[in-house]
Amino acid sequence: MLSFPTQSVSAGAVQVQGMLDPDDKAWLEGDTRPNGPGVEVAGRISEAGSGRYYFSGSIAGEVTQECGRCLSVCSAAVAAEVHVLFADGAHEDESDPDVFPLVQGRSGSEVDVRRAVREGWLLEVPVVAVCSPECRGLCPTCGTNLNQGPCTCARKPEE
């Protein structure tokens, strides 16, 4: 579960343990989504003053991407610490990107960490993945994957 009524958080800190599913509606079109079950979320939400709640936790998952050197498919582990503030409309600072609004749930205002987890995930996903640090990439002349052996083209040595 990644959404908590503010009443339960006001009564004392709440432990967060859950998954953000790759098919969750928090993801937007074009987002790099996690493999498998999703993004594992662990942490705690506590009250941080009137109408304000603080989430401190970690996220972890795996993503499949194309290697930026050899174009083979590779997986990369993604992990990060996430620390964000949630606030109701009266206490929300719209100019601060680390302050998330509370959402309206069935039982009133709720702290829903899914959007914060999504943003933390997207900031940590590698822009260019590399299958291994030793990846030799592709020959710039003939396109042979140099990890599988030398190419046979007559390319000029770099000067």
The predicted pLDDT at position 157 comes to: 58
Under a CB-based contact definition with an 8 Å cutoff, are residues 63 and 130 in contact? no
What is residue 62's predicted lDDT score, i.e. its pLDDT? Answer: 94
Residue burial 103-142, b: 16+ Cβ < 10 Å; e: rest? eeeeeebbbbbbbbbbbbbeebbeeebbbeeebeebeeee
Q: Is 51 left (phi over 0), alpha (psi -120 to 50) or beta?
A: left
* Nearest of 108, 13, 96, 91 to residue 57 by alpha carbon: 13
Contacts of 144 (CB under 8 A, 6+ apart): 138, 150, 151, 152, 153
Predicted pLDDT at 41: 96
What pLDDT is recorded for position 92? 57
pLDDT at 94: 63
- pTM for this entry: 0.82
Low-confidence ranges of the chain (pLDDT < 50): none
pLDDT of residue 125: 94
